[in-house]
C-alpha cells in the first residue's frame, strides 16, 4: 500500500499531538481524539481506549471512505463518525481535534458559548458556539457538531461533553483547541472581576483576516 494511503506523516503527527494534548491539560485519561485526512477520503484517527503516552504512529489506525481500517492494528476512536462528518463537511478541513479541556468543557456543561472577550477567539470565529447534546460516539453527535461549525466557525462546544475544532491541518486544529481553552479560562476569570468587554464584529472580522496569514511562511 502506498504511503499516501497509509498516511505515515499524519499518523506520526497524531501520535505526538495525543501526548501534547494530555501534557498541556486539554484532556484527562484517554478522553478526546485527533484525526487527519489526506484529501482523498482516507483518514487517520487516534485509537480508542489507549493511554496517550503509549501511542506510537503504528498504533494510529487509518480508515478508508467506507470506515474500514486499512492500516494499523488498533480499533479507531469511537468518535470516528463525528470526525468523518467534519472532514467531509468542508473542503478546507484536513485535521480535527476533540478535547475535554476543563474551562471550555465547563462552558459546554452550562450550555453557554464562549464570547469574544479576548481577541484570540478569532482563531475559532466570532465566538465558540454550543452544539446540542447527543450521546458520544453517535452519528447524531457528528451531525450536531458539523451543523454548528458550518462554514462560519473552526470550533464548537459539545454540550455536556467537550470541544471540537477543525483546521486545514491537524496542527492548525490543535492550535485552535489551545486558543479555545485559553479564551474560556480568560472569560471565566474576567467574569469574576466584572463584566468582560466583548469585541465587536468589525474587529473580529479584521482579526480573522490577519490570522489567515498568521505564522511563518515556508
CATH code of the domain containing 83: 3.40.225.10
Q: What percent of the chain is modeled with pLDDT above 90?
A: 90
Task: Tell whether the model's pLDDT for residue 218 goes beyond 70.
Answer: no
In a domain, 216, yes or no: no
Taking alpha carbons only, the member of 41, 43, 50 closest to residue 75 is: 50
pLDDT at 1: 37
Q: Is the pLDDT of residue 2 over 80?
A: no
- Is residue 138 a part of any domain in this protein? yes
Is pLDDT of 141 > 60?
yes
- Residue 138 C-alpha cell reads as 453517535
Is 68 part of a structural domain of the chain?
yes
- The mean pLDDT value for 115-143 works out to 98
Residue 9 inside a domain? The answer is: yes
- Average pLDDT for residues 70-80, to the nearest whole number? 93
Looking at the domain assignment, is residue 39 inside a domain?
A: yes
For residue 76, tell me if it sits in a domain. yes
pLDDT band at 214 (very low <50, low <70, confident <90, very high): confident
Whether residue 3 is predicted with pLDDT greater than 60 in this model: the reply is no
CB–CB of 82/145 below 8 Å? yes
Residue 35 domain flag: yes
On whether residue 49 sits in a domain, the answer given is yes
Q: Which three cell numbers stand for residue 183?
A: 479564551
Domain total of the chain: 1
Indicate if 112 belongs to the active site: no
pLDDT band at 6 (very low <50, low <70, confident <90, very high): confident
Burial 137-175 (b: 16+ CB within 10 A, else e): eeeebbbbbbebbeeebbbbbbbebbbbbbbeebbbbbb
Residue 117: give the domain boundaries: 3-211
Residue-wise pLDDT tens digits, 16-55: 999 999 999 999 999 999 999 998 899 999 999 999 999 9
Q: Which candidate in 10, 37, 79, 175 is catalytic?
A: 79
146 torsion bin: left (phi>0), alpha (psi -120 to 50), beta (else): alpha
Amino acid at each position: 500500500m502506498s504511503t499516501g494511503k497509509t498516511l505515515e506523516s499524519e499518523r506520526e503527527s497524531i501520535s505526538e499531538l495525543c501526548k501534547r494534548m494530555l501534557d498541556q491539560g486539554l484532556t484527562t485519561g484517554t478522553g478526546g481524539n485527533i484525526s487527519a485526512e489526506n484529501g482523498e477520503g482516507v483518514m487517520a484517527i487516534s485509537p480508542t481506549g489507549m493511554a496517550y503516552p503509549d501511542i506510537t504512529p503504528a498504533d494510529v489506525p487509518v480508515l478508508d471512505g467506507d470506515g474500514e481500517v486499512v492500516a494499523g492494528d488498533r480499533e479507531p476512536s469511537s468518535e470516528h463518525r463525528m470526525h468523518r462528518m467534519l472532514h467531509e463537511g468542508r473542503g478546507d478541513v484536513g485535521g480535527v481535534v476533540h478535547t475535554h479541556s476543563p474551562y471550555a468543557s465547563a462552558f459546554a456543561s452550562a450550555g453557554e458559548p464562549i464570547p469574544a472577550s479576548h481577541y484570540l477567539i478569532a482563531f475559532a470565529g466570532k465566538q465558540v458556539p454550543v452544539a446540542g447534546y447527543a450521546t458520544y460516539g453517535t452519528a447524531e453527535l457528528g451531525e450536531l457538531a458539523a451543523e454548528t461549525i458550518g462554514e462560519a466557525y473552526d470550533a464548537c462546544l459539545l454540550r455536556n461533553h467537550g470541544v471540537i475544532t477543525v483546521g486545514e491541518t491537524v496542527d492548525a486544529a490543535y492550535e485552535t483547541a489551545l486558543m479555545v481553552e485559553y479564551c474560556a479560562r480568560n472569560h471565566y476569570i474576567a467574569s469574576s472581576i466584572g463584566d468582560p468587554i466583548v469585541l465587536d464584529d468589525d474587529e473580529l472580522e479584521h482579526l480573522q483576516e490577519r490570522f489567515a496569514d498568521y505564522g511563518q511562511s515556508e
